[in-house]
Each structure stands twice: as C-alpha cells, then as structure tokens.
Amino acid sequence: SNERWPRDHLDRQQGTRVNSKAHRRKAKKREVCSTWNTRPPHPHITTPTHPMTQRERRQAGLYFCAIDAEIHEERLRAQDLIQHYNALRPDEHEEASEIIRSLLGTTGERCYFVPPIFFDYGSNVHIGDFSFVNSNFTALDAGRIDIGRHVFIGPNVSIYTPAHPLLAEERNTGYEQGKPVKIGDNVWIGGSVTILGGVTIGEGAVIGAGSVVTRDIPARTIAVGNPCRPLREITEADRALHDIEP
C-alpha cells in the first residue's frame, strides 16, 4: 500500500511528487532556468531600447546613412547659415559672431573665420579661444573636429573626416563613417594643408604648407610633406622675437 512509501519519494500509484529536499532543489533549478530570459540585463551590458537614428549613429562614430532625411535637414540648416555668413560685409562683426555660434558645436572667445567657409554640418566642429582660420576653410565634419586655443590655420585648408566603404556596392548605399580630428593648442597649419580623419596634431606643432596629414603628428615638431612626416623638433633656437618685449 501507499503507506509503505516515505513521504519524500514519488508516489508511483498517484503519479505525484512529494516534498523532499532533493525534489525542491530540482524544482528551484527549473524555475531559475525558466525565468532566465526575463531577468534585467547586466548593468555593464548596454541593450538599446530603440533603434538608433542615423544622426545618433554618426555621433557614435558608426556607419550612418548620409542621405537620411534628418541628416539632409541638418546639412540644409548649415548651408543656410554658411550662405549668410559668406555674404556678410567685413564690418558686420556682431552678425558674423552670431552665425558662427549658431553653426558650430562650441565656440571660444575671439575666434574668427575669414570667409568664405564651408562645413557639412558645423555642429561637429569645436574651436577654442583666440583661434584664427583664414579664407576658404573646408571642414567635412561627419566626425568630430576639435580645434584648440590659439590655433592659426592658413588659407585653403581642408579637413576631411568621412570614410567611405572600399567596396563599390557598399559605397553606393550612401553609408559613411566619420573619423575624429583633434588639433592641439598653439598649432600653426600652413596654407593648402589637407588633414584626413583619425588624425591628432599635438600641441605647438607646425604643419608646412601643402602637406597632407594622414597620421598623428607629435607636439612641438615641424612636419611637412605628402604624406606629412615630422621634420624636427621646435626648440629655443627657433626663437625669433629677440628685440620685442612680450
């Protein structure tokens, strides 16, 4: 009869499981497994709650669709501001400053761009105090561009941050990626220099005219050429204003 069987064994006649410790452990394990997918994610694992917009992808440094409607509207806004800026009279300083502040991501004190200028978006360009940018400056700012304080940029300088896929069938989709550029404080960039995405130019460096900068340049060096390479360090022997008091 059933009375012969302890309560912690399977009742074979009834087909039911009784309350033994071993059985409780197994039941707990099954419960844990069944609720695995309902647990909240690990705090160090990011699970997106919604698909990223193309602008969010751009700002995250991912490939983004450059012909997306939101991206297109941002470019149109920039072009409208740029057109107004390039058409200003030389004495309209207040209006010029206003447009630059509206156009760029961040703007330092007393920085100035000689028109004409061109940006893709403007919002990805950040410039520090007392920096001067000469005419025909072009910044394709799909990637973030940081320009430090007291930076001199000569005429016809171009900064190209976008990178396109190498395979034509991927390139033709309109997707591209922005690679950041960082220019340190007190840098002098000569005329007609081209700077490619992913480059950092160290503090106090001087880039010779016509150079194409494809890799990082160390601080306080003179660098020239295509591709641009460090020529030598800048030292106290380069001091020129001996007879002028600071």
3-class secondary structure, 162: strand
Alpha carbon 45 to chain centroid, angstroms: 22
- Alpha helices in the chain, H assignment, sequence order: 21-34, 54-59, 69-86, 93-103, 168-171
The structure tokens listed for 195 are 């700077």
d(CA 113, CA 120): 16
- Catalytic residue (one of 44, 50, 164, 242): 164
Is 164 a residue of the active site? Answer: yes
Kindly list the catalytic residues.
Answer: 164
